[in-house]
Amino acid sequence: MTVNLLDFDQPKLVKFFTEQGEKTFRAKQLMRWMHHFGVHDFEQMTDIARPLRESLAATAEIRPPEVKLEQISDDGTRKWLIEAGGGNGIETVFIPEDERGTLCVSSQVGCALECTFCSTGRQGFNRNLTVAEIIGQLWVANKALGRDPKGDRIISNVVMMGMGEPLANFDNVVTALNIMLDDSAYGLSRRRVTVSTSGLVPAMDRLGDECPVALAVSLHAPNDKLRDEIVPINQKYPLKELMAACRRYLEKAPRDFVTFEYVMLDDVNDKLQHAQELLSLVQDVPCKFNLIPFNPFPDSGYRTSSSDNIHRFRDVLMRAGHIVTTRKTRGDDIDAACGQLAGQVQDKTRRVEKRVLIHHRQRQAVI
Ligand code: SAH
Ligand code: SF4
């Protein structure tokens, strides 16, 4: 089988070349061609001798994922629907801001964790993305966006906040992160690459050990009772354990705070009493808050908190000395906002089917 070299970080490329009796510096050369210059044709790699180019072309390929659709929002946000085989597709979003350009990258086709307010979670789970499919999103976006007039890359930040739970696809995500950070590839700073997790505690520890980058934790509730309900992984890793894991992570992290994400759901988690509870929950964890107005999707069953409630909630946290940002909704016209990424998921968990059944039973009970 032909190997796809986009699946390899530099150590894996070194192994690939040494196994063929080639020098280790070839790995760096190839990383530069593939990722720094975005070249996928071996023929264009002019500083690699022709016989090696030919043998590479015979045994390997550089195959980026295929773009099925690209949409551009009025506010400059761009979304790519990327082919994932078997009727599946995943989404990648670029969000331009004044001082930076952020790419929001997916890690799985769907998600198995079933947070109740998340469109990806609602769709069920199909499979983990390969390294080539994860880094391929940056490859594709980078090629489309290029560099600014000063010669800097338009994409300055990456957030693993697209479809899927990155820490549930640990090995592939970490290999892709290594490529993002590699100076021969994208050379992003650890502080500008963020992994967002719903709180897989053992994997958070592994990330701290193996590839510490900036960390965002999807908190969304200040107590176990509510979090068990809306972020069900909390039943396995409750808040006390999650907070301890955040503290351990900070000992290794490139930043000295964790970002807590908190989706604002009307009448569910947006009361002042929730804000007070939140303050005592995080008192031992250096953190910032990112309040995300709930982005609706069909049949979600939730409403977005009013802006008054969001302001009041924010003020409680700010008065206690916290830095709080409220996420602006971007790319509204192309459904590119947080939690709206739908892609195309062929559910293998039969979740959608089960939900339809429950829905029918409930209706029958009512009738
Ligand atoms: N699985 C990871 C990363 C992907 S989701 C995680 O859960 O952290 C990125 C962020 O969007 C998470 O904080 C997630 O909880 C939030 N989110 C999910 N659905 C949303 C919605 N409908 N509106 C607003 N934010 C949502
Ligand atoms: Fe999965 Fe994150 Fe959505 Fe929860 S919020 S279902 S963990 S993608």
The string of pLDDT tens digits covering residues 162-174 is 999 999 999 999 9
Cα-to-centroid distance, 165 and ligand 2 (Å): 6
Relative to the alpha carbon of 269, which ligand is closest?
1
CB 104 within 8 A of CB 170: no
Q: Is residue 317 over pLDDT 50? A: yes
- Nearest atom in ligand 2 to the alpha carbon of residue 119 is 3
Catalytic choice (118, 211, 246, 338): 338
Q: For the residues 225-233, what does the mean pLDDT come to?
A: 98
Measured in whole angstroms, how far is the alpha carbon of residue 32 from the centre of its chain?
24
- pLDDT band, residue 357 (cuts 50/70/90): low
Closest listed ligand to the CA of 340? 1
Residue 149 or 117, more confident: 117
246 as an active site residue: the answer is: no
Q: What is the mean pLDDT of residues 266-282?
A: 98
CA of 332 to the centre of ligand 1 (A): 16
CA distance 82 to 67: 5
Mind listing the pLDDT tens digit for each residue in 298-310?
889 999 999 999 9
**C-alpha 367 to ligand 1 mean position (Å):** 35
In this predicted structure, what is the pLDDT of residue 110? 94
- pLDDT above 60 (res 358): no
Check pLDDT > 50 for residue 367.
no
Q: Is the CB of 165 under 6 A from ligand 2?
A: yes
Of ligand 1's atoms, which has the minimum distance to the CA of residue 340? 22
Least confident of 112-121, 319-328, 349-358: 349-358
- In terms of DSSP H, where are the helices of 92-182? 119-122, 131-145, 170-181
pTM given for the model: 0.94
338 is catalytic: yes
Mean pLDDT of the chain: 92
- What's the 162 CA to ligand 1 centre distance in angstroms? 8
Q: Is the pLDDT of residue 256 over 60?
A: yes
Least confident among 13-22, 66-75, 225-234, 326-335? 326-335
For residue 337, the model assigns a pLDDT of 65
Strand ranges of the sheet holding 101-104, from the earlier edge strand across to the other edge: 67-72, 78-83, 89-96, 101-104, 157-160, 193-197, 214-218, 258-264, 287-293, 324-326
